[in-house]
Amino acid sequence: MPPLPLQASGTLFGRMETMMIPTLERIRYELSKWFSWLGGVALLSLTGIACANMLMRPLGAPITGAYELVGFFGALVVALPLGYAQITRSHISVDILATRYSKKTNRIMNAISSFSCMIFFILVAWQSAIYATTIWKRGETSETLRIIYYPFVYVVALCCLLLALVLLVDFLKSVALIKKGDK
């Protein structure tokens, strides 16, 4: 994914644009790509467990803890590709009003939206990490298989932080486009 071409400027933000944004863009893209790939592996695992359980059930030998495993892998399937889905704009977006705004207004709205969502996902990551730490300290495990599940919650928190990084880059790019349009 080629980085957004930016022009150098004598201002601090101009230097930040030319050096930091492309670097952050490469980092977010590579991390998101790997996380998305791991999400695919989790999806294959989830599907394999669900299918094997479905086939074994009529034979009287269902997989013990299949529902727990499907739940854990389901959380990974949803969380791991969040950053990549944001980069590729795979999420659903409603732009009924945005089509009526000017380019500059759309850029400002995109900046506000990216910043707001970034703050939201930082808070989600923070609270998820607190929850994971709490269940770790309590020694909680799943009911059937007795699997420690705080690592899954930590992974969800990490994925929310990655999404926040993606949104930060989107915000910086929007601000750069707004400033570029003012010239």
Percent helix, strand, coil in the chain, to 5, is 75, 0, 20
Mean per-residue pLDDT, 137-162: 95
Mean per-residue pLDDT, 15-24: 76
Mean per-residue pLDDT, 69-77: 96
Angle CA(140)–CA(145)–CA(147) in degrees, nearest 5? 40
Tell me if 160 sits within 8 A of 125, measured CB to CB: yes
Per-residue confidence band for 17, with pLDDT thresholds at 50, 70 and 90 = low
Has residue 16 got a pLDDT over 90? no
Query: What local confidence, expressed as pLDDT, does residue 64 receive?
Result: 92
Mean per-residue pLDDT, 7-18: 57
Which pTM value belongs to this model? Answer: 0.84
Q: Residue 141 in 3-state DSSP?
A: strand
